[in-house]
């Protein structure tokens, strides 16, 4: 049975070639458990590097115009790429 693993990479800008600044991994097979603060280095240097290792991009970040009057507001990381691998489990 195929089960899904999700890798979320937060890139420096909207390009999938830009460096990764944050990441998360969710394993639908139950073999691995990942949690806040458990990693030292990003698993891949960029989204493209993850694609070359077999991860499929299933969501690209939308580019949004800055809201008028609040152009410098910062909050969530805007360049979130969601990738998946389907693995036998």
Partner 1 sequence: MAPSAQRLSSLHVASFVADGALRFDGIVPRALSDAALAELAGGGPPSPFGAPPGSAAAAWPGRPLAGLFHEWPALSAVLELPAVAGVIESLLGPGALYDHHYAHVIAPRNGWAQPWHADAILDPRPTAFDIQLCFFFHDTPREMGGTMYLPGSHLRRVNEFAIARYQNFVGQEAMACPAGSLLVCHHGIWHCGQPNRTDRQRTMFKLRLNPSVPQRLLWDTRDLRDPLVGKILSRDHGWYGHEVRLEIANRLRLWRALTGDPHYDVDFWLTRIENEPR
Summarize as ranges the residues that interact with partner 1 (CB under 8 A).
8, 10-13, 18-25, 34-40, 42, 72-79
CA distance 49 to 18: 10
Alpha helices in the chain (DSSP H): 47-52
Query: Which residues are CB-contacts of 59 (< 8 A; sequence separation ≥ 6)?
Result: 80, 81, 82
Could you tell me the smallest distance in angstroms from the CB atom of residue 31 to partner 1? Answer: 16
Could you tell me the smallest distance in angstroms from the CB atom of residue 12 to partner 1? Answer: 3
- Which is closer to partner 1, CB of 2 or CB of 34? 34
- Which is closer to partner 1, CB of 33 or CB of 88? 33
């Amino acid at each position: 049975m195929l089960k899904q693993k999700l890798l979320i990479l937060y890139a420096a800008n909207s390009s999938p070639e830009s460096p990764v600044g944050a990441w998360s991994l969710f394993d639908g097979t139950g073999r691995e458990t990942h949690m806040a603060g458990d990693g030292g280095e990003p698993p891949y240097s960029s989204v493209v590097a993850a694609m070359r290792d077999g991860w499929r991009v299933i969501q690209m970040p939308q580019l949004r115009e800055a809201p008028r009057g609040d152009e410098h507001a910062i909050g969530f990381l805007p360049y979130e790429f969601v990738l998946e691998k389907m693995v036998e489990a």
